[in-house]
Structure 1
């Protein structure tokens, strides 16, 4: 992905790999952040297209993946696993429940909690979710060698770790306020 940095009155030279969203001058101090924004937007768009075919919205498949792998979970555990917030998880679970992919049942160990569990209908969906993710991976990594894929993954993990550390740093938290 190349960045575009048009100067006033000039068009960027065309290389065939221009960014889909040109970088505004105000974002010139954050070209990597702008590239991440563009990539995340396109990734979510393609994920949405693939998942819509099987009746899911982006993010719902991740909840289902955890439920398929770990079995029934309390909603608070799903919030933690997904690094989500309670309101978003409530809406996600409600939509999955309305679609018939999950059901709630009382927790045998905590009367205040209920467990979210995958239904038989969701198990039939699992293979389609896996195929959609494989297809999305193929779109994302098209033309990359195995070494380039590995390097990209390491770079993305490092970027994520940088942000995790920044979120845990009280000085960064104070700067946000």
Structure 2
């Protein structure tokens, strides 16, 4: 890992998380590009593979991305033939998302992607180190998620 900049010296763990996230995202992005997917699209596909016929709002909530990102991703995925969006019977303003056969065929490639990413991520770790990392990462996520976001100054 590169040397920590002096301005980040007060947050060595946070800087390590930043470096880890950046490296992981870059590697995952390269794997996704080989599958003709953009980052985040695999998360939407995984949600739909687990539960077909979700509304856009349900998908938005399950993946934790913002509305414009999900909307843009779904549009691109529809153009690529991975899914279709149809108005719900109960409310024509609500869009329900369904996978196409091409989208359903992504199950195995996505599972292989996660397996490859896991191998690259945990390749030199022992089982105990990997388990401890998962537990620690969960604790850090809970700690951050439990805090209110700093308010932006308006002005």
Q: Provide the TM-score with structure 1 as the length reference.
A: 0.82
Which segments of structure 1 move beyond 3 Å, counting only runs of 4 or more?
none
In structure 2, how many angstroms separate the alpha carbons of the residues matched to 1:164 and 1:122? 32
Cα deviation 1:12-63 (Å, max 9, x = unaligned): xxxxxxx1x4321111111111111111111011101111111111211010
Q: Is 1:173 matched with 2:154?
A: no
The question of whether the paired residues in 2 share the 8 Å contact of 1:73 and 1:117 is answered with yes
- Between 1 and 2, higher relative CO (CA 8 Å, sep ≥ 6) is seen in 2
CA distance in 1, matches of 2:106, 2:34: 11
Q: How many residue pairs get matched? A: 153
Partner of 2:102: 121
Q: Which residue does the alignment assign to 2:4?
A: 23
Instruction: Give unmatched runs, 5+ long, in structure 1.
Output: 1-18
CA 1:99–1:22: 2 relative to 1, 3 Å: farther
1:33 — aligned with what? 14
Distance between the aligned counterparts of 2:4 and 2:78, measured in 1? 41
Q: Paired residue for 2:28, among 40, 47, 60?
A: 47
| Alignment equivalent of 1:89, drawn from 56, 65, 70 | 70
The equivalent of 1:3 in structure 2 is none
Q: Which has the larger radius of gyration?
A: 1
Q: Give RMSD over aligned pairs.
A: 1.3
Cα offset for 1:105?
Answer: 1.1
Distance 2:131 2:71 in 1: 35
Tell me the residue number matched to 2:47: 66
User: What corresponds to 2:131 in structure 1?
Assistant: 150
Q: Distance in 1 between matches of 2:64 and 2:43?
A: 11
